[in-house]
Structure 1
Amino acid sequence: MGQGTDQGTRSGRRRARAALAALTAAVLGVAGCDAVGGDSPDPSGTTSKWPKPAPVWDTTPASVAAVGDSITRGFDACMVLSDCPEVSWATGSRAEVGSLAVRLLGKSRAAERSWNYAVTGARMADLTGQVTRAAARGPELMAVMVGANDACRETASAMTPVADFRAQFEEAMSTLRGKLPKAQVYVASIPDLKRLWSEGRTNPLGKQVWKLGICPSMLGDADSLDSAAKLRRNTVQERVEDYNEVLREVCAKDRRCRTDDGAVHEFRFGTDQLSRWDWFHPSVDGQARLAEIAYRAVTAEKP
């Protein structure tokens, strides 16, 4: 009688352990399915209805703020030595431009949900102030194009040092993140200033406007091809390339920041894309090309 009781007890324990193991496997199986998320099949072959996590980059932001310099203000695109923000690549309203804001939001919403805080003549040192003002609007996307004026100085030696340029951009990004932790940032590269010189120097009127002080480090003595002039222009060109590398590197550290991967710098501006007043800043057509580049970068599924 005692032996039978012992056997029954051991048999009961084995059944209990088996049941516990089956229950544990079932629980772990369900937990594993839920951890996958989305429409992943569960162990029974059905589809889970748990929502997929939202992507870090949203290709359809609901508002846009622009910061930067004269290019983003549409300088010299409509009339000589004047801003024309209505043709800005970032926030302009004119149909022939198809600005980034209009492409993303539609014309009516862009009029209410986009803002231009760029300032003609601004350099990277001014970006933090612009970002601070723009952040008060709470934009979902901040569009940035700045740096050309750091290279466009009275002389090549007066250009912003690369280390300062980096520190100033990092400060602006840090300020933005402190105010708008989830805002997305699109950073355009700096145009190829040397190409703009080579295209614009074919126009006598443009060269006369250049003498008023437009980018003297690159455009000064426009017709000179001596060794000193070549060295000066190459020095400016190299500095712009260094600035663009800084923009890429700093932006890459922020998961909600994208650059154009050098597309603006590589774009081959021709005379049709240059202002008919200064043959250096983008024309209305040039602004439209910048808008196309920005829209492709912002709406790409992957950077």
Structure 2
Amino acid sequence: MVRGIALVLAAAALCAPGTAAAAADPVPPVMAALGDSISAGFNACGWYVVCTSRSWSAGDSAEVGSHYLRLTAISPAVKGHNFNFAVPGSTSAGLAAQAARAVAARAAYVTILIGAQDACVATEAGMTPVATYRANLDRAFATLATAGVRVFAASIPDLRRLWRIGKDNIVARSFWTIGHICPTMLAGAASKAKKDQARRARVRERVQDYNEQMAAACAAYGPSCRYDGGAIFSYPFTLDHISKWDFFHPNTAGQRALAGATFGRGFPWEQDTLTRAPLVVAP
């Protein structure tokens, strides 16, 4: 009940009369990606490497069709003004520092996707408390507010779905075990024991709690923030979207799916019909 009320209030705040929900926004001259390994494009193009060019947010690869490229297609003036401050392995505790870097770089628009690493720890007890997660978000949003930065806030992917689509794949299970990848959710992936099922359910609930707090923090930021409405959390991704280097991070197809699922849920950017270039996303 609390979760439902929170999401309804967040949505109402974004759509209430007097906000900029229906008005077009000027295309930002500079943008930046904030978050963790997902936004950094980790493992999207090679063995355990950062591949920012394939980031769903600030990447410049036509194979992905990122927010940056979509903005450039609307206003070519954005070209070359993309930064990626996302840090692989980062938790919400590191978000404020990334926000400060974005402000220093004069980014007028940022995307935020953070929280998977707050849940993907060795034990449930080690997961970031929900109140701490929210406090970390608030510090980052406060930093961005000093420069009037527009924010696109993304939901965390459904980690239990990752377990579900990979649990019967022996290669995926091997990577998860050997690499100690997201033990709270993926340890003992083949187990059907009630205690393991309950553990996975609790971790999923924690991710949902984080997503509620992101929605609420975005609503509190005001009309200069857009939340994805749970688009990433509810996206029906498959193993075809997951890197075969670790069976955890999005590959190129996964990054492309993230970009496509989120951009339309953001700001109604002004269309420059004189200079707009067609966006071509490689198949």
**One-letter code of the match for 2:196?**
A
Query: Which structure 2 residues correspond to residues 170-185 of structure 1 after superposition, within 5 A?
Result: 170-178=138-146, 180=147, 182-185=148-151
Q: CA RMSD in A?
A: 2.0
The one of 64, 69, 73 equivalent to 1:97 is: 64
Does residue 87 of structure 2 align to residue 127 of structure 1? Answer: no
User: How far off its partner does 1:62 sit?
Assistant: 2.5
59 and 191 in structure 1: CA distance in 2 versus 1, 3 angstrom threshold: farther
User: How far off its partner does 1:59 sit?
Assistant: 5.8
**One-letter code of the match for 1:120?**
P
Correspondence for 1:222: 189
Query: Which structure 2 residues correspond to residues 32-47 of structure 1 after superposition, within 5 A?
Result: none
The one of 240, 247, 257 equivalent to 1:289 is: 257
Correspondence for 1:139: 107
Correspondence for 1:164: 132
**One-letter code of the match for 2:265?**
A
Correspondence for 1:114: 82
User: How far off its partner does 1:63 sit?
Assistant: 2.0
The one of 211, 218, 221 equivalent to 1:251 is: 218
261 and 127 in structure 1: CA distance in 2 versus 1, 3 angstrom threshold: same
148 and 59 in structure 1: CA distance in 2 versus 1, 3 angstrom threshold: farther
CA distance in 1, matches of 2:56, 2:206: 24
CA distance in 1, matches of 2:250, 2:26: 26
Correspondence for 1:9: none
**Secondary structure of residue in 2 paired with 1:198:** helix
Correspondence for 1:149: 117
CA distance in 2, matches of 1:141, 1:293: 18
CA distance in 2, matches of 1:300, 1:270: 30
CA distance in 1, matches of 2:110, 2:255: 18
Correspondence for 2:156: 190
- Number of matched residues? 247
CA distance in 2, matches of 1:60, 1:174: 22
Q: Give the structure-2-normalised TM-score.
A: 0.82
Q: Which has the larger radius of gyration?
A: 1
For residues 68-99 of structure 1, give each alpha carbon's deviation from its aligned partner in whole angstroms, at most 9, with x where no partner exists: 00100111222232221111000111111011
Does residue 223 of structure 2 align to residue 274 of structure 1? Answer: no
Query: Which moves more between the two structures, 224-233 or 105-114?
Result: 105-114
Identity %: 40
**One-letter code of the match for 1:222?**
A
**One-letter code of the match for 1:281?**
H
Q: Which runs of 5+ in 2 are unaligned?
A: 1-19, 270-283
For residues 113-159 of structure 1, give each alpha carbon's deviation from its aligned partner in whole angstroms, at most 9, with x where no partner exists: 11000000000000001111121111110110001100101011110
Q: Which runs of 5+ in 1 are unaligned?
A: 1-52
The answer (yes or no) to whether the contact 1:91–1:110 under 8 Å persists in 2 is: no
93 and 108 in structure 1: CA distance in 2 versus 1, 3 angstrom threshold: farther
Correspondence for 2:175: 209
**Secondary structure of residue in 1 paired with 2:38:** coil
**Secondary structure of residue in 2 paired with 1:65:** strand
For residues 33-92 of structure 1, give each alpha carbon's deviation from its aligned partner in whole angstroms, at most 9, with x where no partner exists: xxxxxxxxxxxxxxxxxxxx9x87616322211110010011122223222111100011
**One-letter code of the match for 1:197?**
W
CA distance in 2, matches of 1:59, 1:280: 36
